[in-house]
Amino acid sequence: MSTIFTKIIAGEIPGRFVWADEVCVAFATIEPHTDGHVLVVPRAEVDSYVDAPDDVVAHLAVVAKRIGATQVRVFDAPRAGLVVAGYGVDHLHLHVLPIRCEEDLSFSSARHPEASELDAAMERLRTGLIEDGWGGFVPAQMDSAALA
* Known catalytic residue at 93: yes
> DSSP per residue over 69-94, as a string?
HHHHHHTT-SEEEEE----SSSS--E
What residues pair up with 96 in beta bridges, in sequence order? 38, 82
What residues pair up with 27 in beta bridges, in sequence order? 17, 39
Q: Which residue among the candidates 59, 91, 93, 95 is catalytic per the annotation?
A: 93
The catalytic residues are 93
